[in-house]
């Protein structure tokens, strides 16, 4: 096929993070290329470079034989490159038509524009309400407006960033139909996703990214799904049995221990009808570490939120020990001894502008140990913080510093120290090692093992499969909001887990 | 009881006292629609007033004075834009800083220019234009059709601004920037260029308010002569729901309250005059509480836009 787009040696660094590292790519017209990768693999960064939002530190982009430099989104539009962002870039207060016309030169906005927008709608079988502001539209319609916006600008390259993640299940098929039509007209489409079944359905080739590098560009039809997921997760030899360190032998046999957490038949449906969790059943015993593996966005985060009370399940029950907590408030669950290390420590785990010691105390500030005579006891807070800073080797070791002054690893230690102290019965950790270096990762995992050793049930949710396999006694795999299987990490293969992770909804009944 | 002459007087006062507020409010609307707060209106009124006074003083021409005032406003607007857009300083802090800077700077410069004589120097100004026939309409005629040229300029600019903002393609782009700069940027709108344009025009409009004070009202520059009009204009923006026409109407409402309280002061000398002085502010508070509740500002006003922000 004829070469249309050539990307060579593109790199981009944010601070100390290499978001893109020597990315190379060749593509032709009328092709749909899926970009597959975990969160933070560099998919969106690459797209942002192509549409001029980010300026690359190195590398070249050659379009139709001519080297181009995309210095701004306006320049990208001139070159016919468009993108549909995951969270859309529409002006909520304006109508579909106004949104489509923003930024165009005057001659393109005449009365003919109106007719052309309607024509595009007909060509692609799009239903769009032109009388209401975009803010009042359903997500699927907003997405159609975004696509119309790109089509109206005559794009020859369209990048779709996780386009189906916001759609209700019924909206996905018509959307993919539209994409197919677009590809048939000769458009080069990039389809960023981590849903393998959609990639299989829509894409000609799949480009797999990991840690800012391209791991491979493979034809979809002849590549097994398990190989894709293995490349994505950085395990080239996926059929090797997983090796487990010997830490296991030190662990107690928990199969007969009391149940710490029982989740039965829990479902969660959003107001737009998307089923995030479907009939989830889990049992976690005291002292056990239960890993939850799965590709990001398959309901793991929501499961943690339902258990800790941040979200309310649509149906089903949750037992903590013998006590039903299905309807309890967050505060009641904390009082019942649930500790929670959330995925986003900046947004949910810490208040960065408060000091380290205040961060230790603020979720339990009303407790007697932090109070004296109705006032906050600075001394008590300082004492507890100092002990934790010592025990966890948090650096710098001054608990009066703002939490924002600490590195990511040390911030995570604060959250860990606080939540471990709180977790008398259950500790829920989500992506606890995200963005941490090797040493900090090891420390966090040692702490989690120690907590389990003391008889607390631990739910370890992570997309980093190696870590889940290393630390867990059992691993439950989630896909499309369901538990697709529970395996023993000692005697399973990555191949097997890969299949469970990518099981399509029909297979999982 | 109902006195038509009195009503005519109050209406004439409304136009005179409301015009400077209306100019400043128009400027505020343009800036906020582009996503930038212009809290510096108060200072920019002073800059415009000083520029107008100095220009007219030096050349003896009110028109050149007007031009000088507008240029001062443009420069102060550009400066505020540089702080808000390029340096991404908190826009409230930047605006207040500009107000303090311009209050001091205009006081200092006025003494340099006009000397230390009390009351400053009298400068050439505009005279009222009597529009034939319409002036003869009872009550309304003298108040609305015998005004100074800047009042007619205000009406013209307000209509023009409304048309540009709500009907033209550049106006659509500007509103998109104020609502969602990232979306506008991705659609190919030159976000920063439009914001600089808006904040400069905003400064120029505020300067016209100052020019009106000097060239059409008192013919002399006085320190601090803006007397809070820039802040009342901020209320007029909200009351006018970020529409150019709405903001002018709201500003004229405040002008009406002010004119009415002057008349009340004269008619009831036994009541302490301070009570009447607070009337316009009470009226603006009440109006904001009643009408301002449902108003919604441009979604991204006050939030600096950074393309590479992650």
pLDDT tens, per residue, chain A with 509 residues = 688 999 999 999 877 678 899 999 999 999 999 998 876 688 888 999 999 999 999 999 999 999 999 999 999 999 999 999 877 889 999 999 999 999 988 888 888 999 999 999 988 888 899 999 998 888 788 889 999 999 999 999 999 988 887 776 677 888 899 899 999 999 999 999 877 888 899 999 999 998 889 999 999 999 888 888 788 777 654 444 444 444 444 555 677 788 999 999 999 998 777 788 999 999 999 999 999 998 777 889 899 999 999 999 999 999 998 999 998 998 899 889 999 999 888 778 888 888 888 888 877 777 777 888 888 888 888 888 888 888 888 877 888 888 887 777 788 888 998 998 888 999 999 988 876 766 778 888 999 999 999 999 999 998 878 888 889 999 999 988 899 999 998 888 877 887 888 776 555 44
What is the nearest CA distance from A330 to chain B, expressed in angstroms?
30
Residue the block writes with tokens 């799949």: A206
CB–CB of B188 and A104 under 8 A?
Answer: yes
CB–CB of B176 and A94 under 8 A?
Answer: yes
Give φ, ψ of A483 to 5 degrees: -85, 115
Please state the ipTM of this predicted complex: 0.83
Cis peptide before A131 (omega within 30 of 0): no
What is the nearest CA distance from B28 to chain A, expressed in angstroms?
20
User: A262 near A313, Cβ under 8 Å?
Assistant: no
What is the nearest CA distance from A54 to chain B, expressed in angstroms?
6
Q: Determine the distance from the C-alpha atom of residue A353 to the mean position of all C-alpha atoms in its chain, rounded to a whole number.
A: 25
For the whole model, what pTM was predicted? 0.73
CA distance B227 to B239: 20
CB–CB of B187 and A85 under 8 A?
Answer: no
Chain A residues whose beta carbon lies within 8 Å of the beta carbon of residue B186: 51, 53, 73, 83, 85, 89
CB–CB of A149 and B189 under 8 A?
Answer: no
In chain B, residues 180-199 whose CB comes closer than 8 Å to chain A: 180, 182-190
CA distance A464 to A303: 17
Q: How many helices (H) and strands (E) does chain A have?
A: 17, 22
User: A153 near A79, Cβ under 8 Å?
Assistant: no
For residue A77, give the chain B residue with the closest CA.
B188
Total beta-carbon pairs less than 8 A apart between chain A and chain B: 73
Please, what is the end-to-end C-alpha distance for chain A in angstroms? 41
Taking any CB pair shorter than 8 Å as contact, residues of chain A touching chain B are 14, 51, 53-55, 72-74, 77, 83, 85, 88-94, 98-99, 101-104, 106, 109, 149, 153
CA distance A396 to A405: 9
CA distance B144 to A440: 75
Q: What is the dihedral of CA A46, A49, A51, A53, to 10 degrees?
A: 120
**Collapsing DSSP states into helix, strand and coil, what is residue B3?**
coil
Predicted confidence (pLDDT) per residue in A403-438, tens digit: 887 777 788 888 998 998 888 999 999 988 876 766
Of A55, A103, A109, the CB nearest to B188: A103
Assess B54–A contact: CB distance below 8 Å, yes or no: no
Assess B307–A contact: CB distance below 8 Å, yes or no: yes
CB–CB of A53 and B299 under 8 A?
Answer: no
Q: What is the DSSP string of A19-30?
A: EEEEEEEEE-TT
Assess B175–A contact: CB distance below 8 Å, yes or no: yes
Give pLDDT, residue A98: 93
Chain B residues whose beta carbon lies within 8 Å of the beta carbon of residue A152: none
User: A363 near A334, Cβ under 8 Å?
Assistant: yes
CB–CB of A102 and B176 under 8 A?
Answer: yes
Which of A460, A441, A497, A122 minimizes the C-alpha distance to A307?
A460
Give pLDDT, residue A438: 67
CB–CB of A74 and B310 under 8 A?
Answer: no
Predicted confidence (pLDDT) per residue in A327-379, tens digit: 899 889 988 999 999 988 877 888 888 888 888 887 777 777 788 888 888 88
Of A53, A83, A91, the CB nearest to B180: A91
Assess B111–A contact: CB distance below 8 Å, yes or no: no
Chain B residues whose beta carbon lies within 8 Å of the beta carbon of residue A98: 172, 176
In chain B, residues 268-297 whose CB comes closer than 8 Å to chain A: 296
Q: Are strands A157-161 and A188-193 parallel, antiparallel or unpaired?
A: parallel
User: A471 near A448, Cβ under 8 Å?
Assistant: yes
Give pLDDT, residue A2: 80
CB–CB of A104 and B299 under 8 A?
Answer: no
Assess B172–A contact: CB distance below 8 Å, yes or no: yes
Predicted confidence (pLDDT) per residue in B261-307, tens digit: 888 888 888 888 888 888 878 887 888 888 766 667 888 898 888 88
CA distance A6 to A61: 6
Chain A residues whose beta carbon lies within 8 Å of the beta carbon of residue B296: 93
Chain B residues whose beta carbon lies within 8 Å of the beta carbon of residue A113: none
Q: What is the dihedral of CA B127, B133, B139, B143, to 10 degrees?
A: -20
Question: Residue B256: how many CB atoms within 10 A of its CB?
Answer: 19
Of A83, A90, A102, the CB nearest to B189: A102
CB–CB of B183 and A90 under 8 A?
Answer: yes
Which of B23, B67, B18, B66 minimizes the C-alpha distance to B41?
B23
Domains of chain A: 5-239 (3.40.50.300), 247-337+423-508 (3.40.50.300), 350-420 (no CATH)
Predicted confidence (pLDDT) per residue in B110-164, tens digit: 988 887 665 667 888 888 887 777 777 777 777 777 788 999 999 999 999 999 9
Q: What is the DSSP string of B133-159?
A: TGGGSTTHHHHHSS--HHHHHHHHHHH
Between B41-59 and B91-114, two packed helices, what is the crossing angle to 10 degrees?
Answer: 20
Give pLDDT, residue A71: 92
Is the pLDDT reported for residue B66 higher than 80? yes
B4-117+134-291: CATH topology: ABC transporter involved in vitamin B12 uptake, BtuC (1.10.3470)
């Amino acid at each position: 096929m004829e070469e249309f787009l050539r990307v060579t040696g593109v790199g981009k660094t944010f601070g100390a993070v290499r978001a893109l590292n020597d990315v190379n790519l060749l593509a032709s017209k009328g092709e749909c290329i899926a970009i597959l990768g975990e969160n933070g693999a560099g998919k969106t960064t690459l797209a942002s470079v192509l549409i001029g939002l980010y300026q690359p530190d190195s590398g070249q982009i050659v379009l139709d034989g001519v080297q181009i430099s995309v210095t701004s989104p306006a320049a990208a539009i001139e070159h016919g490159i468009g993108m549909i962002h995951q969270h859309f870039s529409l002006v909520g207060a304006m109508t579909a038509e106004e949104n489509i016309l923003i930024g165009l030169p005057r001659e393109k906005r005449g009365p003919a524009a109106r007719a052309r927008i309607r024509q595009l709608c007909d060509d692609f079988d799009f239903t769009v309400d032109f009388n209401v502001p975009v803010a009042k539209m359903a997500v699927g319609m907003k997405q159609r407006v975004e696509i119309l916006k790109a089509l109206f600008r005559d794009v020859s390259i369209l990048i779709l960033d996780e386009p189906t993640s916001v759609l209700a299940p019924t909206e996905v098929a018509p959307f993919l139909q539209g994409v197919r039509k677009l590809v048939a007209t000769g458009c080069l489409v990039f389809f960023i996703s981590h849903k393998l079944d959609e990639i299989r359905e829509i894409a000609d080739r799949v480009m797999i990214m990991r840690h800012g590098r391209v791991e491979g560009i493979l034809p979809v039809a002849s590549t097994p799904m398990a190989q894709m997921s293995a490349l994505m997760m950085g395990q080239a030899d996926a059929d090797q049995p997983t090796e487990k360190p010997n830490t296991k032998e030190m662990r107690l046999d928990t199969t007969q221990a009391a149940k710490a957490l029982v989740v039965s038949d829990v479902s969660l449906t959003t107001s737009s009808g998307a089923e995030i969790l479907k009939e989830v059943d889990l049992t976690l015993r005291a002292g056990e570490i239960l890993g939850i593996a799965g590709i990001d966005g398959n309901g793991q985060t929501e499961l943690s939120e339902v258990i800790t009370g941040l979200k309310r399940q649509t149906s089903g029950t949750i037992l903590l020990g013998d006590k039903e907590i299905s309807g309890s408030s967050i505060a009641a669950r904390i009082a019942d001894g649930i500790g929670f290390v959330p995925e986003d420590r900046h947004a949910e785990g810490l208040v960065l502008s408060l000091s380290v010691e205040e961060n230790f105390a603020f979720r339990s500030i009303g407790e007697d140990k932090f109070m004296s005579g109705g006032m906050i006891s600075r001394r008590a807070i300082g004492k507890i913080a100092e002990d934790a800073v010592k025990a966890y080797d948090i650096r710098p070791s001054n608990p009066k510093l703002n939490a924002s002054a600490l590195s990511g690893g040390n911030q995570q230690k604060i959250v860990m120290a606080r939540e471990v102290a709180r977790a008398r019965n259950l500790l829920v950790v989500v992506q606890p090692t995200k963005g941490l270096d090797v040493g900090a990762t090891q420390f966090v995992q040692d702490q989690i093992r120690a907590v389990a050793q003391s008889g607390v049930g631990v739910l370890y949710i992570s997309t980093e499969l190696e870590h889940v396999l290393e630390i867990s006694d059992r691993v439950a795999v989630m896909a499309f909001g369901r538990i697709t299987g529970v395996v023993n990490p000692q005697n399973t293969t990555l191949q097997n887990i890969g299949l469970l992770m990518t099981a399509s909804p029909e297979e999982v009944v | 009881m109902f006195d038509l002459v009195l009503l005519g007087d109050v209406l004439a006062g409304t136009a005179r006292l409301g015009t400077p507020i209306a100019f400043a409010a128009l400027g505020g609307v343009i800036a906020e629609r582009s996503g930038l707060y212009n809290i510096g209106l108060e200072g920019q009124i002073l800059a415009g007033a000083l520029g107008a006074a100095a220009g007219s003083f030096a050349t003896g021409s009110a028109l050149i004075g007007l031009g000088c005032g507008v240029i001062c406003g443009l420069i102060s607007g550009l400066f505020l834009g540089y702080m808000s857009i390029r340096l991404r300083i908190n826009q409230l802090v930047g605006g207040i800083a500009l107000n303090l800077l311009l209050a001091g700077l205009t006081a200092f410069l006025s003494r340099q220019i006009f000397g230390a004589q009390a009351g400053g120097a009298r400068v050439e100004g505009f005279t009222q234009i009597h529009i034939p026939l319409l002036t003869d309409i009872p009550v309304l005629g003298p108040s609305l059709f015998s005004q100074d040229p800047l009042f007619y300029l205000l009406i013209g600019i307000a209509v023009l601004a409304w048309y540009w903002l709500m009907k033209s393609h550049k106006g659509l782009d500007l509103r998109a920037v104020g609502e969602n700069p990232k979306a506008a940027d991705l659609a190919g709108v030159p976000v920063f260029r439009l914001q600089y344009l808006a904040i400069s025009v905003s400064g120029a409009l505020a300067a016209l308010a100052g020019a009106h004070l000097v060239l059409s009202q008192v013919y002399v520059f006085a320190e601090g002569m803006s007397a809070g009009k820039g802040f009342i204009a901020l209320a007029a923006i909200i009351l006018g729901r970020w529409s150019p026409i709405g903001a002018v109407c709201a500003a004229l409402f405040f002008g009406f309250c002010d004119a009415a309280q002057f008349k009340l002061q004269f008619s009831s000398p036994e009541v302490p005059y301070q009570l009447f002085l607070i009337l316009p502010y009470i009226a603006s508070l009440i109006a904001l509480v009643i009408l301002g509740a449902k108003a919604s500002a441009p979604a991204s006003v006050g939030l600096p836009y950074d393309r590479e922000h992650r």
